[in-house]
Amino acid sequence: MASQTTIKRSPIVLIRTLIIIEALAFVAYLAAAQLGNYKYELYTKLEFLSQLISYQTAKFLLLSGAQLAITVYAFLRWYYESYIILPGAISHKWGVFFKKETTIPLQKSMTLTLSSGPLGKRLHYGSIHIDNGAPHNSLTLGDIQRPHEQRRTIERFAEPQSKYLSEEPDVLKLILEEEHEHLEFKSTLRFDERQKAISREMEKAVMKTVAAFLNSKGGILVIGINDGQEITGLKNDYETLTRKDSDGFENHFTQIFNKMLGPEFRHLVRLKFQPVNGHDICLVQVGASARPVYLKIDSSEHFYVRTGNVTTPLKLSEVESYSRSRWPRRANVS
């Protein structure tokens, strides 16, 4: 299976848009005709322009230029819009001047709904709505070609949800466990308790662990408990944030995650906040990624895995062999 598949919207969408542009241009022409000589009188007041070109020429250039600009924009808007299907996720990219992107997970439990109008049935295009059961985990692929075939492609790329995302962990039981391949404790996200200040190194350490879980078989990172399994809570982290609560914490976590690991993997991580003995702690539940995840620090990239209860960096010479064993189907991309 290919590592990714790109789906474009049907050319019918572009043709339909061009027809609408032509219709609006005709309406605009009729509306302008109702103004009579007022247009000419207004044009003659533009002395520099009226002496340079005739009124008829200016009118032709204005109408045709506006129509051309709108047509080109419509084409570029269609051309730059696409749906990228990856193992375990799908991204919607669009935008001409300002690029935008949204990504949702593809899970075995998702619901795919096909819809197509009478014209779509005859010309073999329609829409697919993907629903993962959450408000921000839904996406509609609008007016795409051969929707029935694309549905099968989406289903092939769907990944079963990792147990570390689907299960509800017992927090009190986790606290009593020792760190292992799928469990690690961190006292804070960004507050250095020794220096009593914000530390970027603390954020890096958290993201290293998350990256290692993604590249291995998933796991749970508990923030708010130190290595001695003492509950420290999130109060010190909260005080460093603009919004001093769990929402502010999660927003900041997402910002550094997107910067250091990439927003395309954010759906594989879930944050759960729970009070324990009067302190908030955060469970970072991490699923296994279907492709390699690199941690970006400044201008360099790093690759981490879990070996026992340790987060281990791999050399570039080791990454390829690890990837072939961890994701064997990616080694035979067609």
Strand, coil or helix: what is 192? Answer: strand
Q: Where are the domains of the chain?
A: 11-79, 83-93+100-157, 163-332
Reported as type and span, the H/E element at residue 45 is none
Residue 269 burial (CB count, 10 A): 21
- Residues 124-177: pLDDT tens digits? 899 999 987 666 778 999 999 999 999 988 888 887 667 777 778 888 888 889
Strand, coil or helix: what is 193? Answer: coil
- Residues 232-286: pLDDT tens digits? 999 999 999 999 999 999 999 999 999 999 988 888 899 999 999 999 999 999 9
d(C-alpha 309, C-alpha 179), whole Å = 6
Q: What number of residues does the chain have?
A: 334
pTM of the model: 0.59
Which pLDDT does position 54 carry in this prediction? 76
Identify the CA nearest to 115 among candidates 137, 140, 138, 92.
140
Phi, psi of 172 (to 5 degrees): -65, -35
Phi, psi of 210 (to 5 degrees): -60, -45
Phi, psi of 253 (to 5 degrees): -55, -45
CATH of 163-332, one of 3.40.50.2300, 3.20.20.70, 2.60.40.420, 3.30.950.30: 3.30.950.30
- The amino acid occupying position 95 is G
Mean pLDDT across the chain, nearest whole number?
Answer: 86
d(C-alpha 261, C-alpha 116), whole Å = 38
